[in-house]
Structures are given as structure tokens and as C-alpha cells.
Structure 1
């Protein structure tokens, strides 16, 4: 995927209203993505870290994570600006304009301001002047949480068409002297448009959290009385996160499919959070799902937290792998500890 806004793919469905008085569902009608201009390969990163006496290598990173490069925000990039770019591409893909959007839900852990929400800042930049706008903070599960919220509000008749965005600049909360975390993350944004429809698109969503596990992945700092208190950088117990993520993602997939009365064999594509290629492989193995039915972009984007699932989704659409009629599952797992899924018929 290019770091520039590419030609938008054709919409999955016409952006038409549901039959009045009929059952309301939400369907995915457009996708979009945005990456910063700065592409940083493992070799680039290794050279930069070496100037500060930190030793690592491309082989070390690839072997443990599958990551080969990441895109890092420049001075003019913000969570809002990346989210706006992805949203515009998704709207173009869906064939809708600012007057057609009446809900914006943005998943992010790296908001540009304490408030107003990133969703409100994006709304202003897009020229959307109606409907609601709010942020969802569930870290790497944020996009799946956001899709579930938007789907529920559309089904309830609160909104007709929703922009759902995942946008992050994680590079700004990383300790670049900590080899165990700084090599893992990148920046970016992805977005989808959900539209009310009379046939189901988002079939099932499942949301989970266990705050008892909050210590294994966190950024525990805060701003208090004008000063940063606590630890302002990301902290992670990599082994604990890996073990928990593999267990929970496999269980989550089974739970989600069972809720829809479906089986693993019915699934065309798994689009999981892109944290580590070994987590993707282990999850697929536990499910008995062939690895060639798992969308993997972690090698190109690294871990972009709430942006990782929509970035992977947009790339798969752009490449023609995702097509109307297919059954896909979006999955997220991250700090909180949170995990969530959306089962979607395209």
C-alpha cells in the first residue's frame, strides 16, 4: 500500500437507504487508508538505534515479529490528519459526501488533545456538520469496538451512515531506547463507511475486557496540574501478551462464529489485529484455519494499534482479495486487557 491516497476501490454495495419500516442492519460500503510519508525499514531503524548504543538487527526483528518496515509520523502528521485522509478515501470508495455522514466513531489511544475528541476534530476537517462524533479507547481492540458501536447505533435508527476510523501515532508514546517495544510499532489510519440496509452486513460483534490484566500492556502516564505524571511511554510484558492473545483470539473466533450459527469452514477471511506474525500463525493453527485465509500486513505496517485492522482490510480490498458476498471476521486484542470481533458479510 502506498503512503499516498490511492484510487479508491469500488463500493461493496450502493449507498442506499433501507426499506422504510423494514428491519435495519448495517453494511460495509467503503474502505480507506492513510500512511505517513516516512517509510522506515528495519535496516534504517537498526542504524538509528546504533547511534544510541542500542543493538538489534533486521534478522532479530523479522524472526520474532515478522515486521520488515513501518511508517512513522512526520512533524506535520497527527492522529487527526491521518484519520481525515483515511476517512476521505473511505467516503470516496462508498460514493458518499459530507452531507451523507451522520455519525463518526474514531478508535484511538493517541488522541491529539485531551479534548475535544479526535472524532470531532475529524468531523470539522471533513465538513460534516450533522450527527454525533465520539472516540473509542480500547487500544488495539478499538476498531472492533468502534464497529460494534456504529452498527448498534445504525440498527437502533440513530444514524444512517457512519464513518468508523482507527487512527494512531504510536511513535510518540514509544521509548526509543527500549528495543523490546520501539521496533514493534508504526503509525497510520484506516476507515470504513457503514450504511443502513435491509439485509445484514455486520452479523455479530463480541466485546470483552479484563482489567485485571491491565499491567501487562499499558502507558500509565497522565497530565496532572500541567505536568506529566507517571510513566509516559508504552510498557509491555511481551511473553504475557503473546500467550494471552493467542488463547483469547482463538476462543473469540469460535464464540463469534457460534453466535452466528456458523463454523470456521464458513469463514473466507480472518482479518486480525496486526501485532506479530507468530500470533497470527498460532491463532490460525488453533482454529484449523489455513494461513492463506488470514490477512497479514504486519510485515509492511508493523503494529499500528487501532489502525491495524482497517489498514489490513483496505489493503486486502485494494488487492482484490476481499469481494462481495464473502464472510470475514475482524479481530482486535490489546491493552486493557481487551479483545473484540466483528463478523461481517461483504
Structure 2
């Protein structure tokens, strides 16, 4: 199978990280095609034929046509969702489902293509309970954790393991008075737990008395670790208060990183760790579509080049 065709980048129009990688690939004279699922069907069409060798056919965007059999790698970032605003509610629901399983299924079935990451594997890894269980299997230290809808279980866990943090299991768009916001990580006491916990699922995790945070970005077989110093419980709430420094993970952490990705069939991951006062690294989460490009100008780490190497298939 040819690996000299284009890199296919699947993401929304406003994606500065993808822009950096595409610019690097262009500078290397590597062909790139970019699409967003939200462009379908207005400016994106496709035809895929099942053959004894797999799917053959083409994807056509507003600017180019891509041969499905020649795509060397697919960088699956953050595409917008399918939308059919011109249809009735029932028709739009039907059309969306057909698009997801049709175009989505074709994009996920490219023979000889390196996925960074495969959309189905991303979906698997985005379930936090699955990620935490995989982290234990991979050999990470993981704080005591409870996922529950039982107020009694939550109170008992906090009493036994306190101090305990509440963390959302996912981070959908949340609006308060029309303003977009996020559900923050926060410390919670047993006295705050009431019957509202029974209304949905919640994640509670023993708080690590940390000296710093570390973001580790794994791109193929390359590991980039950045220590993040702040006085914040959740460093993502105020980037202006962060200080960055390049660090080397302990050997057992490095080997666990690659085992974790292998468990999910991933080649990229953005890992978050809390480092305690004794220097122990505690796994918090891995985002299979996490952000990373802002760390390069802060540290000088060649992360854009590493991602371009992977997509160009200079490494695997």
C-alpha cells in the first residue's frame, strides 16, 4: 500500500494546533487534505466501493479529491458534528445517523493508513473509568477513585479517603446565563453529599497533595514531559499563572505510558500527572485528543516536528 499520498486532517475550521502541523507538512512538501465532518454534505462528498482489497473510491472537498487507497495517515483532531438544519427534526436525525455510520465508517476503514488516532479508539479511551482501569493495568500509580450514583457510597468514600475531589466524567458544553463555562474540579466534603448524587453518575477521587503537575505528550514513540508549577488545584483554570519546565519521567512511568497507549491502540496521548511531595507521579487522565501545541513555544520542545514526522511516516 502506498504511503506517498496525502495526509488527511479531520478537524474543525478553527484549530490552531492542526494549522501548525499542516504548515510543517507543507514546508516538507508533504501533500495534505483537510476536511471537517460539518462540511458534509454541502461541500464534502464521497463514494466508497467495496472491493476484494477493501474500500476504494474518493473523498471530494471544495478544493480537492482524495483517493481513499492512497491516504498515508489520518490526523483525527476535533471535527465539528454533522448538522442538517434544513431538514425537519425527524429527517435530520435520520440523515445524521446515516452520515455518522456512512462517512464515519469509511473514514475509519482506510487500509494501510496510520491513524493519529483512530476515531473508534479515541471513543474507547474517552471513558474515564476505562482509562483509570487501563492505567492500573499499565502500571501507573492511580489515586483511590469511586464512580457512583449512590450518596451513601460517596459519603463513605470521602470519610475514608478524604480529602476527596469531585471531577466530571466528561466535559460537555455547559452554559450559565448564556455564558460558556466548564464544570471545575473541586474538593468536596461528606456533609455536602445529598440525594442529588442519585440523579446521575459522579467521579470522586482522593486528592494528591501535589508539589506540581506534569503534562506528558506522547507522539508515536517520542515522549515530551513538561512540569507545570502553580498554586492552582486545576491548572487549566488560569494559564497565566503557570510556569513550565522540561522534565524527564521516571523510567517506570515512561514504560507505562507506552503500555497504556498500546492497550487502547493509540499512537498519541496527552497525559496528566500530579507529582506529590515525595516525588511520586500519580496518573490522573489521558486525553486521546488533548491539546499540546501551546507547550512548544513555552519549552522549545520540537513537538510540531514530531507530529509531522509521525504523520509523514518517518516514524511509526
TM-score between the two structures when normalised by the length of structure 1: 0.23
Greater relative contact order structure (CA < 8 Å, 6+ sep): 1
Larger Rg: 2
Normalized per residue, which structure has more helix?
1
